[in-house]
């Protein structure tokens, strides 16, 4: 093989390698970024909470997207709470947090929920991210002592700052600080 043929052969090999490499790169599915992971997680959670007929699916989703060692710090305020309880912090672990959603569904009718991701700040190494979410819930809250009694219309807004561990195609909640303001609407 002469020098010209060797150069042509090497050029063809390099060209083939570049074409193959670019084809593999365009067919490879890129890992979702933290904004996409967290936004989609919140959209899915919102849909699952509103469709309360599939509670097992909601529970499974929550277990899959919450760390075993997660800590949720919650504070609440509403006009019916005693003044000394307004804004008081409640700490919950994973099980307590999930149970609060499950138990709460028994006392709310005509439930609507929306979870909006308003900010996501990924860490420099992209292993964690901090997000801010706003969850708006509305419906009729029932009297736990008399479920036959007409429900009281409410609207609540919960603002959370959540630390997520980014694990492949999942955003796992590790820690959250949330505050909920609830208002009861008067009916005429």
Per-residue pLDDT of the chain (188 residues; tens, 9 = 90+): 555 444 444 443 444 444 444 334 434 444 468 889 999 999 999 999 888 778 899 999 999 999 999 999 999 887 776 666 666 789 999 999 999 888 877 788 899 999 999 999 999 988 999 999 999 999 998 887 887 888 899 999 999 999 999 988 899 999 999 999 999 887 65
Is residue 119 within 8 A of residue 132, CB to CB? The reply is yes
CA angle at 136 for the pair 134 and 138, rounded to the nearest 5°: 170
CA angle at 33 for the pair 94 and 177, rounded to the nearest 5°: 35
117 φ, ψ (degrees, to nearest 5): -90, 120
Q: Which among 59, 65, 88, 50 has a CA at the least distance from the CA of 168? A: 65
Beta bridge partners of 77: 181
Q: How many angstroms separate the CA atoms of 3 and 5, rounded?
A: 6
Total-model pTM: 0.77
Is residue 118 within 8 A of residue 135, CB to CB? The reply is no
If 0-12 CB within 10 Å is exposed, 13-18 middle and 19+ buried, where does residue 188 land?
Answer: exposed
Name the 3-class secondary structure at 176: strand
Is residue 105 within 8 A of residue 55, CB to CB? The reply is yes
Sequence length of the chain is: 188
DSSP β-ladder status, 66-78 and 152-167? unpaired
Q: How many angstroms separate the CA atoms of 161 and 177, rounded?
A: 5
């Amino acid at each position: 093989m002469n020098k010209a043929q060797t150069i042509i052969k090497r050029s063809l090999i390099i060209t083939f390698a570049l074409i193959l490499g670019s084809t593999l790169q365009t067919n490879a599915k890129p890992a979702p970024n933290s904004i996409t992971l967290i936004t989609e997680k919140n959209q899915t959670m919102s849909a699952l909470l509103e469709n309360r007929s599939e509670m097992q699916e909601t529970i499974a989703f929550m277990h899959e997207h919450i760390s075993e060692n997660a800590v949720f710090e919650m504070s609440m305020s509403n006009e019916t709470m005693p003044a000394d309880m307004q804004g008081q912090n409640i700490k919950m672990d994973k099980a307590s947090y999930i149970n609060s959603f499950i138990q709460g569904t028994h006392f709310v009718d005509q439930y609507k929920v929306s979870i909006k991701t308003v900010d996501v700040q990924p860490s420099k190494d992209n292993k964690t991210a901090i997000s801010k979410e706003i969850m708006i819930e509305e419906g009729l809250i029932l009297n736990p002592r008399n479920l036959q009694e007409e429900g009281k219309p409410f609207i609540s807004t919960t603002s959370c700052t959540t630390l997520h561990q980014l694990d492949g195609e999942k955003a796992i909640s590790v820690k959250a600080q949330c505050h909920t303001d609830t208002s009861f609407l008067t009916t005429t």
